[in-house]
Amino acid sequence: MIMLAISMPLSELGFTNVKNEYSKFVSESAKTILPSRLAMLIIYLPAFLVSLSFALFAPSYNFSYASSERAKMIVLSLMVVHFAKRCLEVLFVHKYSGSIPIDSMVPISITYSLVSLSLLYLQSSVNVTYDTISTLGLAVAVLGMTGNLIHHIQLAQLRSHGSSSSSSKQGSRYAPPHGLLFDYSVCPHYLFEILEWIGFALVSRTLGSYLVAFAFASYLMTRSFRTLQWYKQNVPNFKTNQTALIPFVF
């Protein structure tokens, strides 16, 4: 978990051998590629199956009204719903037009699966009391999940109307997303995903969950900054008052 927290933001900055070449950052030199929809499904499906396996077969996860068991079941439910949502978005929400290199897809898929496996295993071995902090965490996680979904739908609707593209080759014809919080930052969907992982950590309260929340927050902050820089370099008349992640702040 510590290595994950360190390596994710470093990989986005290009300091490791792990590649995050997808969306508008796909390298034109990439040779072994898959269609984006298939690649993204392969990225998320194994983690969903890991989480679902815990829900169905792990003896340490039991439906109970005991406070500690309630916390475990909420953590498990959040993990299952998170990756189920991801898979359903890939199949029914997102609009894809490109491809993803296999050497980018495989490390990401393995990372998500290991995150799911590690966090749920750690949670099964601890007894965390469900209390006010847990309720706050659940509310933050649900807010993050809902906001992320709403902004993903907004992206899909814009692409359906031809106002957005993910290809860097079309920078001059690229219209940045707009509407909702997209009017104020270029990656509000990343902001809500960060909130989701923070909420998860507040319910889980294991060291692993805190490290994962930090890793994803660092990674998404870095990626949102790269996205903002890409817009400034490739999109004429880009609105300079937009921030990368948090409206009016960053």
Cα 116 to Cα 111, 156, 207, distances in angstroms: 9, 27, 14
Burial class (CB in 10 A: 0-12, 13-18, 19+), 161: exposed
Burial class (CB in 10 A: 0-12, 13-18, 19+), 212: buried
Q: Give the pairing type, strands 33-35 and 99-101.
A: antiparallel
Give the whole-angstrom CA distance, residue 120 versus residue 79: 8
Extract the tokens encoding 222. Answer: 């870095």
Give the whole-angstrom CA distance, residue 26 versus residue 36: 11
Contact between 137 and 201 (Cβ < 8 Å) = yes
For the chain, what are the domain ranges?
A: 31-128, 131-250
76 closest CA partner among 86, 63, 85, 89: 63
At residue 7, the pLDDT reads: 60
At residue 39, the pLDDT reads: 95
The number of C-alpha atoms within 13 Å of 58 and in the hemisphere containing its C-beta is: 22
At residue 250, the pLDDT reads: 93
Residues of the chain with pLDDT under 50: 165-172
At residue 143, the pLDDT reads: 98
Contact between 185 and 245 (Cβ < 8 Å) = yes
- In the chain, DSSP assigns E strands to 33-35, 99-101
213 closest CA partner among 199, 225, 227, 192: 199
At residue 3, the pLDDT reads: 60
At residue 9, the pLDDT reads: 60
Q: What is the pTM of this model?
A: 0.88
At residue 170, the pLDDT reads: 46
At residue 110, the pLDDT reads: 95
Give the whole-angstrom CA distance, residue 192 versus residue 98: 25
202 closest CA partner among 128, 130, 137, 247: 137
At residue 169, the pLDDT reads: 44
